[in-house]
Amino acid sequence: MKKLIPIGADHAGFELKQIVINHLEQKGYELKDFGCYSEDSIDYPDFGHPVASMVEENDNMLGIIICGSGNGINMTANKHQGVRSALCWKNEIAQLAREHNDANIIALPARFITEEEALEMIDTFLSVEFEGGRHQRRVNKISC
C-alpha cells in the first residue's frame, strides 16, 4: 500500500507543489492534493487547514504545506491541536524537526529555497524517525 501524504500550497507555492507531487509520485507515494491549482492569488489558510486537519485526524501521517515565505501557512497549520508544523529552509532543520520535535508537517518557503533544496528536505523529512527519549518529554509540553 502506498503511503498517503496530504499537500497544499498557496499561489506562491503552486509551482513547487507540482514539482514535489511529481517527485513523490515517482517514489511511490500517493498524494492528496488540497490545492491550490494555479498561480491565481488565493488565501493560504484555505489550503493549509485541510492538510492540517487530515494530519490531525490520522496517526503517523506526515503532510506538506508551501507558501511564499512558509510563515502564513505554517501558522495556519499550527492552530490545529494535533499538528506540529515546522518551517524548514535547510535540510538539517527538516531532519531535526522530525528527530527532535516529532514534526508531522513540513512547511516550505517557496520564494526562498531552490527546487533541489525543497526535494532534499522533503526526502529527509519523510525518511527520518522521531528519536523519542528526552525529546518526548519536550514534545509533550507543546500542546496547550
Across the chain, which has 144 residues, the per-10-residue mean pLDDT values are 89 98 97 97 98 96 98 98 97 98 98 98 97 91 87
Which residue ranges make up each domain of the chain?
Answer: 4-140
What pTM value is reported for the model?
0.96
Q: Which residue out of 11, 36, 67, 88 is catalytically annotated?
A: 67
pLDDT of residue 2: 67
Q: What is the pLDDT of residue 144?
A: 82
pLDDT given for residue 131 in this prediction: 84
- DSSP secondary structure, the chain, as one string: -PPEEEEEE-GGGHHHHHHHHHHHHHTT-EEEE----SSS---THHHHHHHHHHHHHSTT--EEEEESSSHHHHHHHTTSTT--EEE-SSHHHHHHHHHTT---EEEEETTTS-HHHHHHHHHHHHHPPP--THHHHHHHTT--
- Just give the CATH number of 4-140: 3.40.1400.10
- Count CB-CB contacts under 10 A for residue 99: 16
Whether 100 is catalytic is yes
